[in-house]
Amino acid sequence: MTDTLIDRRELAFQLYDMQNVESLCERSEYADHSRETFESALDTAEQIAKELFAPHNRLADEQEPTFDGKTVSMRPEVKVAFDAVAEAGFIAGREDYELGGMQLPESVMSACMSLFTAANPSTAAYPFLTMAAAGVVKNFASATLREQFLPKMLAGRFTGTMALTEPHAGSSLADIRTKAVLADDGTYRIQGNKVFISGGDHELSDNIVHLVLAKIEGAPVGVKGISLFLVPKFLLDENGEPAQRNDVALAGLFHKLGYRGTTSTALNFGENNQCVGYLIGEPHRGLSYMFQMMNEARLGVGMGGAAIGYRGYQLALDYAKGRPQGRLPSASDPSTDPVAIINHADVKRMLLAQKAYAEGALSLCFYGARLIDDAHTASGSEKEQAQLILDLLTPILKAWPSEFGPKANDLAIQVHGGAGYTREYDAELCWRDNRLNPIHEGTNGIQSLDLLGRKVWQQQGQGLQLLHKTMMDTIANSHEQFALWGEQLKQTLGKIAQVTTVIAKHIQKDPDHGLANSHAYLSMLGHTVVAWLWLKQANVAQQKMSQVKTPQERAFYAGKIQAAQYFYVWELPLVERDVAVLLSMDGTCISMQEDWF
């Protein structure tokens, strides 16, 4: 099997050619950085990914973590990999120098993380969860809590979790029942049950910092009564070291389809009424804190979908090049040698679709990462505009790659034929791992409701207008040879505007019907944005083509243009169905009755 995770040529194209990440170095935050320091971070990430993540990817799947009632055991390679990521500084990679960080932009951190995920998604989850939890502690916890927990989290000595979901309430956070009671010492006693908590128990770190959503006694009903608590597995002693066990018990591990190396836990908080929790920020504002982190975590999920999709594509490509079988219809004489299957038109179709999905998803995620960088460190209207588009696109950054990454993996299995159905090849492992991404951090159905029920209308719809304008600018500045694609995209944009107007009229008076086809809206806008990014990729490739020095470079750019063509001929037309469903306010699904099923 090939050891290519995400081709560095591809990462460089997305970072430098597409997103011009070098220009970030002009900002004071990144003034010490340069393409060289970015590449050096990527070199380190790639080396760790190849040497310490990839080799136990299959092993961690075959020998998933176990719980003997006291301790969770897992393959020892996981801790080695986790420690290497921490020691190389990646958990603090985004953070300021004063926190011991590398002060790297999100774009570059995303690229580094994509390498870990492509190599071994379930081991990568541990540092990722810790980074996300550390971000919440940094931004919202009191100075005391920050001091106690943040440095150890950023160093990888403490890991983190996000404890939102409860058995009776998955997506519906309004209904959580975990409660918090103020104790005399100003801390809280937490009581409740959480499920599907990734990384909720293990022996990888000295302590686990759970960020727990709970309701303080007497809080308002619904999401407005949710507070956020820091609940450590071990309470700290006077030296800040983990000491007494807190009243958090592992009730059991879930056994999953994929991502098996990541413990997914059921946790009981306060079985003995002794679970100490520390309030983060103000009471009842927990959800907004969690969501600031969650929105960026959603880009992480999208990047996961893209990275695993891309890894599967590389596996299929490698197999197709090396597997001789059959002959072309025009030269079917059985006395001649068979050709490698990459020569068969239908295999090319499956590989080209994977390329279009995986590299399209990568380009979407790197666009999202650049928006985060701009929302954080640009100034004036550039900053505002980045935030506007980022808010609008967050559901798509999560949902599109997590839908099309797995589709790519499905095709990767198919390219392998019978071999793809065996566990001797990793295409099936990619497919199983990637199946989590459309579900966690808000199912794609929830993303579609977030998009059409909220994001499209925020700030009087300025986000969508700005995105529209951005895409029209690309069309106007495209190479002449892509004019037809530009016209096709322009027409689609017109239809999206029309659809949005129609829905705006209905959504007020009948929100159920107005939102009924939200998934079609998500698909339509997602496919359109990716089509736009493929036009941009083709434009960049065309421009670079005139300066190429090697046949390899020429082939790389030619491939980009061909994949863009694939997207315009084979993919964008599928949006027509969504447009038709949405324009007609089709009621087929919503009018289906329970007893008719």
Q: How far is the CB of 429 from its own copies (least distance, A)?
A: 9
Compare residues 6 and 52 and give the one whose CB is closer to its own copies.
Answer: 6
Name the residue nearer to its own copies (CB basis): 109 or 176: 176
DSSP 70-125: S-EE--HHHHHHHHHHHHTT-TTTTS-GGGT-----HHHHHHHHHHHHHH-HHHHH
Closer Cβ to its own copies, 213 or 369, answer by number = 213
User: Of 490 and 577, which CB lies nearer to its own copies in the complex structure?
Assistant: 577
Establish how many alpha carbons lie within 13 A of residue 24's alpha carbon, considering only the half-sphere containing its beta carbon. 28
The smaller minimum CB distance to its own copies, of residues 94 and 416, is found at 416
Q: Shortest distance, CB of residue 232 to its own copies, whole angstroms?
A: 25
Q: How far apart are CA 46 and CA 595, in angstroms?
A: 54
* Residue 155 backbone dihedrals phi, psi, to 5 degrees: -85, -5
The distance of closest approach from Cβ of residue 257 to its own copies in the complex, given in angstroms and rounded to an integer, is 4
Q: How far apart are CA 428 and CA 62, in angstroms?
A: 13
User: Of 379 and 597, which has the nearer Cβ to its own copies?
Assistant: 597
Least distance in Å: CB of 460 to its own copies? 20
Tell me if 262 sits within 8 A of 56, measured CB to CB: no
Rounded to the nearest whole angstrom, what is the least distance from the CB of residue 412 to its own copies in the complex?
A: 12
Which of 308, 306, 299 has its CA nearest to residue 368?
299
Under 8 Å between Cβ of 199 and 129: yes
What does the alpha-carbon distance between residue 579 and residue 596 come to, in Å, rounded to a whole number? 27
Report residue 193 as tokens. Answer: 């049950």
Name the residue nearer to its own copies (CB basis): 31 or 574.
Answer: 574
d(CA 287, CA 228): 7
Q: Which of 463, 492, 485, 465 is nearest to 537 (CA)?
A: 485
**Phi (first) and psi of residue 294, to 5 degrees:** -60, -40
Q: Which two tokens stand for residue 190?
A: 């937490």
Q: Which two tokens stand for residue 504?
A: 């705006």
> Rounded distance, CA 105 to CA 397, Å?
18
Find the shortest distance in angstroms from Cβ 346 to its own copies.
4
Compute the least distance from the CB of residue 206 to its own copies, in Å.
29
Nearest approach, Cβ of 329 to its own copies (angstroms)?
4
**Closer to its own copies at the Cβ: 159 or 264?**
264
Asked if 248 and 235 count as a contact pair (C-beta separation under 8 A), the reply is no
Q: Structure tokens of 48?
A: 């760790």
Residue 385 beta carbon to its own copies: minimum distance, rounded to whole angstroms: 29
Q: How far is the CB of 445 from its own copies (least distance, A)?
A: 4
Q: Is 437 helix (H, G, I), strand (E, B) or coil?
A: coil
Q: Which two tokens stand for residue 481?
A: 């040879």
Q: Which is nearer to its own copies, 70 or 255 (CB)?
A: 255
Nearer to its own copies, 150 or 535 (CB): 535
Q: How far is it, in rounded angstroms, from Cα 113 to Cα 381?
A: 29
